[in-house]
Structure 1
Amino acid sequence: MGNWLLILTICAAAIQSCVAVDRGNFKTCDQNAFCKRQRATQPGNSPWEILLDSLNSTINSLQVQVISSRSQARLQLQLIALADSTLHFELDEVNPIKLRYRAQESLSGSPQLSSLKITEQSSDSISLSFGGTGKAILLVKPFRLDVYDGDQLVISVNARGLLNFEHQRVRKSNEAARNEEPASEPTEGETTAEAEIKHPDEKPVEEEEEPGLWEETFKSHVDSKPYGPTSVGVDISFPGSRHVYGIPEHADTFALKQTKNGDPYRLYNTDVFEYELYNPMALYGAVPFMMAKRQQGTVGIFWNNAAETYVDIEESSSGSVVSSLMNLVSGGGNEPHQQTHWFSESGIIDLYIMIGPTPKDVVRQYGSLTGKTPLPQRFALGYHQCRWNYNDQEDVHSVNKGFDLHDIPYDVLWLDIEHTDSKKYFTWDPVKFPDPLEMVHNLTANGRKLVTIVDPHMKRDSSYFFHEHCEQNDFYVKDKSGKIYEGWCWPGSASYPDFFNPAVRDYWASRFALDKYEGTSLDVYTWNDMNEPSVFNGPEVTMPKDCLHYGGYEHRDVHNMYGMMVVEGTIRGQLMRSDYKLRPFVLSRSFFAGSQRFGAVWTGDNIADWEHLAIAVPMLLSLSVSGIPFCGADVGGFFNNPNTELLTRWYQAGAFQPFFRGHAHLHTKRREPWLFDEQTNKLIKASIKKRYTYLPYWYTLFYEHEKTAVPPMRPLWMEYPQDAETFSMDNQYLLGDSILVHPVVRSGEQEVSVYFPGVDTLWYEIETYKVYEAPGYQTIPVAIEKIPIFQRGGTIVPKKERARRASSLMTKDPYTFIVTLDKQGKAQGRLYIDDGQSLEYQKGSYIILELNMEGHTLSSKVTNQGAFETPELIEKIVIVGLSRAPSSIADNTGRILEYRYDATSQSLVLRKPNFSVSNEWSVNLKM
């Protein structure tokens, strides 16, 4: 009876939390001991100084010890110069009791080294050069690192003196501490390192009375801390920068807000139902990366720590330490700028500093560290249809048929947890889904795919093969006593595979083999949900921090990386089952820095209201600039029932965001588009079809991302870095450098104010070709039929205007090029083509068609073809911005081409030139 009561209590709490987020389930800074201690560190009078006699250097690095004048505790500082203007700053304990965790899994490989030169040294400072224009100065007393781009100070570490590195220690009672004599030698059973930590200044150390050092209680949960307080923190200031961005995931503005009078931004992966907006509480993912923007440059930092982390942001006041420093160094005034304070519960200070100087430089520098998103299969960029849950096999068949009957494209149908046999993953409900492979074949016959959910909480059932294998092979996470940890999630009693164990990831990957995951084919892909990990009866709805992982590390050390490690195993499983021939597809709710290497993420359990539609843009921009470009928000809102206006506007917005999926909660009304009135059905269909016409452009953008790390969805300031008007803008954005999107996010809106960036730049409305001149704001009417979308003058955008049932059926369809001229009559663009699914593109099997219009001639150039061939042709070219009609048009062979010119829109349509995309050609307009 007791167990059933517990189950009922947990379920009731989960259902109640679906009504609104229960803030009482999640800590504030004041309820978190290490956050309070770190935040209490006072600026100025830093005790830390460099020991110059410990200095060592190589051609790439510098090592030196830093000592506290108060406790005599020592830290090892290492500076390493990396390729592409990046500096690696690392602080760790000297002789720790236990090695601290280093989050190396976030990195895509070993960073390429560069030269680090000592250019000047004195008793007060050490001057260094790195990466071309990079310079750094280490100040000895108090310790500080100042980083310059040329002569411009851009980043300062510990300028405010907030460095606080809590050493590991061995606990002893107050009574023992009072009676113990000072000792400099290890006691029996104690290492020399332990003795040094216990007695750093040759004096007995009594146990501190401050609560939360050795254990901490939150609600009914007790967190034991066997090594005492181990948090690390330091301040990082951005001289000259008024705006900072990044550190997703938070439902907040894109330009991060000041936190001085409230909680800091929290990075701690948690399962939050119906999250609140415009506050710094943690959500499902954590990327400790930040960009700082000033008018003349951009810099970035990556705080590589997988433990719970907080970030305080405060604008400097006149006369502050760094403001005064700026005045001294650069001759500038005390202009306010951003000061940040970073602190994590454990680990080391592992900081990467990227000096830009442009926004695209910073994302490239960060991408070289943590990786880029590999080009997804083309189907993944189409529309995805999901809900919790489609009832059974017949329901799936009915939905699939409904899309065809109503002529609505879609590529993927999704199944949530109810498709399994009693929430046992890698299984099927035998009654609801008696023949899953037949169901899959019905989908794939229409060119579509299936995604099934596979979560990391494993039902504790002796008849469940996965659970039995984990117990037999010691694959589960342990509790603090070393026993298998048991928590509660959807299956009831559950345990959690330890994905930090390589053998566990190997086993997980093996379960995706077609002969092991019965009922699947190569057209079935994966959704990893609840991988924060979610534990209904755990502290803050997740795993206790004192659980133990492979290698002896505590969960507190690795928490934010757990979800990413789940996906790494899933991705490998999909690659293995196709013999590394097909690109994988996985969607994950939890993520960390580096997760972009493994697939897509979404913004979790949003709500069907206008504010959640609006917040999607800043949330997706934050993810995009932080290295995770394949991102989206549930169209329509996961919870509650959107009215038809909201649903229409959400589809219009979602069609121009990277990951496009409709999803809804179990208890919402069904939302298939044809279930609404005729007008709503028509508008939703139009939005989805518009997405499909732009798939060639999306595909090209994702290819370019893999090469450059620049995200497809980007803030205006990424293309216009000196336009200060764009720095705090998060209600509109760019797709590539060519398309400007301004979603409509308010009910009943009749018009919106759109900002057009770029000096002397033209922007053309994509349907009417009405032209707007930049820079400045324009009032744009927004009838319910569409949202404001514009193509920049000077660009060429590839499209396919025959939107079929699925993207796979469009493979051989011809292309359309939309050419919008700038004021000089010029335009440029690119089309990338490959087979849309295999990994052969990584061997060079693709086509890149470079397009250029200049002097009334449009020409193409094939810059790479490899072994790839395609029959695809060009069926239409639209040239916009011609003040008059040409007298004739001929191609490079002299063939006269037919065209139609519209004087009202100043557009020319060239129909059926039938050029091959594999060949070079040109079109000459005789004016």
Structure 2
Amino acid sequence: MESAQGRITPSKRRTIVRSVLALGLALACVSAVKREDFKTCSQSGFCTRNRAYADIAKENPQWASPFQLNPSSLRLSNGVLTGDLINVQEDKQPSDKPALAFELHLLDTDAARVRINERNPIQPRYDGVQDTVLIKPYGHATEGSYQKLSKDENGVLTIQYGAQNQNTVRISSAPFKVEFLVNGVPTVLLNDEGLLRFERLRNKEEPKVEEEGEKQEEETSSDPLVEQNAGGNDIEIAIEKSELEKKLEENLWEERFKEFTDSKPRGPESFGMDITFSGINHVYGIPEHASSLSLKATRGPDAPYTEPYRLYNLDVFEYEGDNPMALYGSVPFMLGHSKNSTAAVFWMNAAETWIDVEKSPEDKNGGILSWIKSKKAVHPAATKTHWISEAGVLDLFVFLGPTHRDIFRQYASLVGTTALPQAFSIAYHQCRWNYNNQKDVAEVDAGFDEHDIPYDVLWLDIEHTNGKRYFTWDEAKFPNPTEMQESLSSKGRKMVTIIDPHIKKDGDYYVSKEGADLDVYIKNKDASSDFDGWCWPGSSQWIDFYNPKARDWWASQFSYDKYIGSTRSLFTWNDMNEPSVFSGPEITIPKDVIHYGNVEHRNVHNLYGTMFHSATAQGLTHRNETNQRPFVLSRAFFAGTQRFGAIWTGDNVASWEHLELASPMLLTIGLSGIPFSGADVGGFFGNPDAELLTRWYQAGIYYPFFRAHAHLDSKRREPWLFGEPYTTQIREAIRTRYTLLPFWYTLFQEASVEGTPIIRPMFTEFPEDEAVFGMDDQYMVGDAILVKPVVKSAVVRSNVYFAGKEKWFDIKDYSVEQGPGFKDIDSPADKIPVYQRAGTIVPKRERPRRSSKAMENDPFTLVIALDSKGEASGRLYLDDGESFNYEKGDYILREFKVSKGVLSSRKVESAVPASSGESSFAEKAGGLRIERIVILGATTPLTNVTVGDRTVQVNCAQVGGSYVCTVKEPQVAVGKDFDLSFA
């Protein structure tokens, strides 16, 4: 076979086979990630060059950016400012044409976009990320919504914009700098530190054959620089380049890592720029990293990390905690928050990217003396970040809020919201690598029924296939897959099978042959042959999803007449789509392989998994004439992935550390626009003991995607296998998830419309409480439920922070805690601290069933937690849980409110007209009843509850300093208006 490194000899083939087998063994046995398989910044040429540039700037007190805007070139029209950007160190001659084009776009969402690109490059720089990531053309601000305020003698242009004219952008010409201000306060600053650097595409210079005299001259004058003396005469002096200056020229045209060579045929084309969050000490986002929610510093005194955060999708099994290493997904979105401001940026680039973070505390010690000495104003606290990408164009969006919800909405308007999933997919999933055969599947399924534990989906990993040939079945192990799926479906359950992007190279395998005939595989660097690498099937090829023909062909593979043995209750798991290549550099595909349109892989690496995810979702949607929503899980992700399905945090470990890591990782991913995410419950590698597994289930029921998964060589750990009391404790946890499914589904609908995270860091709900800004060991589910996982062994008391000035109610026993402040809370083996926030209403279904499908006609319970004013509110969303009919308005969305002793239910009006006819979901389900209303926080017992002229039964009991009152059978329907009065 051919590889990016040339023809593989039989000897090298044997070496690769041994390496692949060794990797399989390592997957089962290694106790920590093999760091040497993955680059550090010092092993990445463009990261080294740009970081050295930052060091040079920092070491030079007089440093100023060499970039300048030509003031006379600036033009503002229809919300777009354009101009010429000049590097005065490179564009030295007046006749030189400006090399770079600067654009500032003011958007109708109050966001802004900044672009910098070469005007006339020797070959086009890749600029196609926007075509995949952005959902539709955005609108620019209208002429009347912004105002050109001034352009002073120094070329500083100021523009005021935003719906309330609250935002200002100030562009300085020399040196070039862009400042975004909110209500006159600087918030996001671009190139404030002068780290903008842009490697223009160039022709490679061949080494010069030197004459003897030239060689002698070089020896006497090593690197001549011209400097002026006091008298104005030019003096040529020889200055040896510093070590930092030498780094600026490293690995420009070729780069080696271990035994791999990156040919870099286009040469250096990286760029970097600093972005400062002024007045902000906490920044969040840029997943995926096994690190804290509030990002730690990588530069500056006492920085916890020395490496930048890396965004480069990689297969890093058993990843380490507290580490900025790259993992499976990349979203270059960062949000900054302080008590006074919230802002975010989206660096829209899919090439390898590194990000340094430096914290600058407020200068409180120098005071007036410091100002007298420096003649500079006292600086507020700030977080300085340095973004470095290998290729493409500089394309940056800035969001100024002013609230978190505003930012989520602005960001989602560009990259899309999460797809509303099928209802089953937010319930419990049972998976391992691998369930052995059809008999094993039946026994596991029966085990859930025998132990009265609900679940919705059973998963099959790679061993279910015929020799790792996707879309096939091992006929000896799974002789009748249709019958197997129909058996599960009869109980309302589904099945998921794994399908990866590597295709076994086999002329007798129909998928392999069709792909070759259609010419839809990624090409080697010379584009003359298909790239061939190693993955689970052995010699494999990778689908080029940048080829429109490939995407449509791949989608067609999911039709029932091609994927034999599939049914409408079978869904898909996209794994290994970073892409993972066992024989490649950093266990991924070489950067210099070629995609459709002669695009180098280095430009689109972080988008590959999303393209695969998208094509698979397209296939599952188009296979049906019944309008069924897809469900696809992906391991790799990028901005926009949320439009196609769920993701998870990859190959974690059965350890307390990884249980603890799951919360900040999922919170970070959700903040960055991908709310449907989870972590493998129990840990993928290794064998959890009963305590760890139980605690993980208790935490996992509050992950948006709730799946247990285990490695091939791990011991079986279905929820009942550890015996009592653990079976009961796990059953109770899973049942809790099922009772809350109406609440979860409502949150998913909100996320699909507004772009809000489903699980939320505390600071998004309590933005002025500085105690929660760095908190990631507890979080909110929506705005109503507080969760504090137990992540250490033998813990029976948990220190919980109750934010705000209202009460919090334990969701099990309704005991009350008063905020604000920390309090030690009992967390015995059968529960973790979970509290409902005063002022909220949570819809539930409380009848245990074997699956979520079996619950769809069950009645509802409303749990009302009254605040200090006696008020509360909440919503309930329902649709058929399966089709796209909700897009036609066929759904129920009710708003419940308590005010002045009256609980009201009103329809939230839809912008889409509802479908007509008695068969519509809204008409059929609207009559489902509310069987119970639980009122928490009543100051006195309720004695008189009425609906219209009817009196309704109510029972009250005192819990702590307030009352819990239960209204049974109020005889009201979930889809109808009503008013329930209580006194």
Distance (whole Å) between structure 2 residues aligned to residue 98 and residue 396 of structure 1? 55
Q: Aligned letter for 1:640?
A: G
Q: What is the aligned partner in structure 1 of residue 277 from structure 2?
A: 238
Question: 1:41-64 CA deviation, whole Å, 9 max, x = no partner?
Answer: 133321110112322331220110
CA 1:780–1:317 in structure 2 vs 1: closer, same or farther (change >3 Å)? closer
Do 1:860 and 1:921's aligned partners in 2 also have CA atoms closer than 8 Å? Answer: yes
| Cross-structure match for 1:247 | 286
Matched, 1:717 2:727: no
Structure 2 residue identity aligned to 1:214: W
Given candidates 33, 37, 47, the residue that maps to 1:25 is 37
| Residue of structure 1 equivalent to 2:488 | 443
2:345 corresponds to which residue?
Answer: 301
2:50 counterpart of 1:34: no
- Aligned with 2:255 (options 197, 207, 216): 216
Offset, 1:100: 1.5
Tell me the distance in 2 between the aligned counterparts of 1:896 and 1:476.
Answer: 70
Q: Is the 8 A contact 1:247 1:626 kept in 2?
A: yes
- Post-superposition offset of 1:362: 1.1
Cα distance, 1:315 vs. partner?
1.2
Q: Deviations over 1:400-440 (max 9, x none)?
A: 11111111100000010011111011111111111111111
CA shift at 1:872, angstroms? Answer: 1.3
Q: Is the 2:49–2:250 Cα contact (8 Å) retained in structure 1?
A: no
Q: Aligned equivalents of 1:7 and 1:58: distance in 2?
A: 60
Per the normalisation by structure 2, the TM-score is 0.89
Name the counterpart of 1:136.
Answer: 169
Q: Is the 8 A contact 1:915 1:921 kept in 2?
A: yes
Spell out the pairing of 1:20-419 with structure 2 (5 A cutoff): 20-41=32-53, 42-43=56-57, 44-72=63-91, 74-102=99-127, 103-104=129-130, 105-115=132-142, 117-124=147-154, 125-131=156-162, 132-175=165-208, 210-260=249-299, 262-316=306-360, 333-419=378-464
C-alpha deviation, 1:82, in angstroms: 0.8
**Structure-2 change in CA distance of 1:209 and 1:74 (3 Å):** closer
- Is 1:918 paired with 2:975? yes
TM-score scaled to structure 1, two decimals? 0.94
Change (3 A) 1:889 1:536: same
Deviation at 1:29, TM superposition (A): 0.3
Q: Distance in 1 between matches of 2:210 and 2:313?
A: 38
Q: Which residue among 831, 852, 861 is the counterpart of 1:807?
A: 852
- SS at the partner of 2:203? coil
Paired AA for residue 947 in structure 2? D
Q: Note if contact 1:269-1:532 (Cα within 8 Å) is conserved in structure 2.
A: yes
**Aligned pairs for 1:407-806 within 5 A:** 407-482=452-527, 483-579=529-625, 581-758=627-804, 760-806=805-851
Whether the aligned pair in 1 keeps the contact of 2:815 and 2:959 (CA below 8 Å) is no
**Could you list the per-position Cα deviations for residues 683-720 of structure 1 after superposition, in whole angstroms to 9, with x for gaps in the alignment?**
11100000000000000011111121111100111111
* One-letter amino acid of the structure 2 residue matched with residue 296 of structure 1: N
Q: Does 1:876 align with 2:909?
A: no
Which runs of 5 or more structure 1 residues have no equivalent in the other structure? Answer: 182-206
Contact 2:739 2:847 in 1 (8 A): yes
Q: State the 1:888 CA deviation.
A: 2.2
Partner in structure 2 of residue 903 of structure 1: 958
Partners of 1:393 and 1:4 lie apart in 2 by: 35
Identity of aligned residues (%): 46
On the 8 A contact 1:242/1:338 being kept in 2, the answer is yes
Contact 2:16–2:583, Cα closer than 8 Å, also in 1: no
| Pair 1:801–1:54, CA change in 2 (3 A) | same
RMSD between aligned residues: 2.0
Any idea what SS the aligned residue of 1:674 has?
A: coil
Q: Distance in 2 between matches of 1:99 and 1:887?
A: 76
Residue pair 1:143, 1:158 contacting (<8 A) in 2 also: yes
1:176 Cα shift? 6.8
Equivalent position amino acid for 1:889 in 2 = V
2-structure distance, mates of 1:309, 1:560: 10
Q: Say whether the 8 Å CA contact 1:147–1:154 is kept in structure 2.
A: yes
The one-letter code sitting in structure 2 at the alignment partner of 1:143 is: F
C-alpha spacing 1:167/1:178, structure 2 compared with 1 (3 Å): farther
- The alpha carbon displacement at 1:177 in A equals 9.9
Q: How far is the alpha carbon of 1:17 from its aligned partner? A: 4.9
Q: Is the 8 A contact 1:596 1:628 kept in 2?
A: yes
How far the C-alpha of 1:126 sits from its partner, in A, is 1.2
Residue pair 2:680, 2:708 contacting (<8 A) in 1 also: yes
Where in structure 2 are the equivalents of 1:838-917 lying within 5 Å? 838-864=883-909, 866-867=914-915, 868-869=922-923, 870=925, 871-892=927-948, 894-904=949-959, 906-917=963-974
- 1:150 Cα shift? 1.9
Check whether the contact 2:78–2:140 (CA below 8 A) recurs between aligned residues.
no
1:5 shift after superposition: 4.2
Structure-2 separation of matches of 1:665 and 1:915: 48
SS at match of 1:675: coil
Q: Which amino acid aligns with 2:134?
A: L
8 Å contact 1:48–1:69 — kept in the other structure?
yes
* Paired position in structure 1 for 2:6: none
The one-letter code sitting in structure 2 at the alignment partner of 1:216 is E
Q: Secondary structure at the match of 2:657?
A: helix
| Cα-to-partner distance string for 1:466-509 (whole Å, 9 max, x where unaligned) | 11111111101011121210010000000101001111010000
2:3 corresponds to: none
Contact 1:120 1:126 in 2 (8 A): yes
Q: Which amino acid aligns with 2:498?
A: I
Q: Is the 8 A contact 1:85 1:354 kept in 2?
A: yes
Which has the larger displacement, 412-421 or 49-58? 49-58
DSSP-derived class of the 1:780 partner: strand
Q: Does the 8 Å contact 2:943/2:954 carry over to 1? A: no
Deviations 1:154-211 (A, max 9, x none): 01000100001001111121217999x9xxxxxxxxxxxxxxxxxxxxxxxxx99933
Q: Distance in 1 between matches of 2:480 and 2:954?
A: 54
1:738-775 deviation per Cα after TM superposition (whole angstroms, max 9, x unaligned) = 100000000001211111111x2111111111111111
Gaps of 5+ in 2: 1-9, 58-62, 92-97, 215-245, 916-921
Cα contact 2:49–2:248 (8 A) shared by 1: no
- 1:294-351 per-position Cα deviation (integer Å, ceiling 9, x unaligned): 111200000000000000000126779xx99x999xx984233100000000011100
SS at match of 1:525: strand
Letter in 1 for 2:133: S
Distance 2:867 2:81 in 1: 50
**1:571-592 Cα deviation digits (max 9, x unpaired):** 1111111237111111000000
CA contact (8 A) 1:847 1:864 kept: no
- The letter of the residue matching 1:898 is Q
Q: Deviations over 1:564-611 (max 9, x none)?
A: 000110111111112371111110000001111111000000000101
Q: What is the alpha-carbon distance in structure 2 between the residues aligned to residue 161 and residue 746 of structure 1?
A: 45
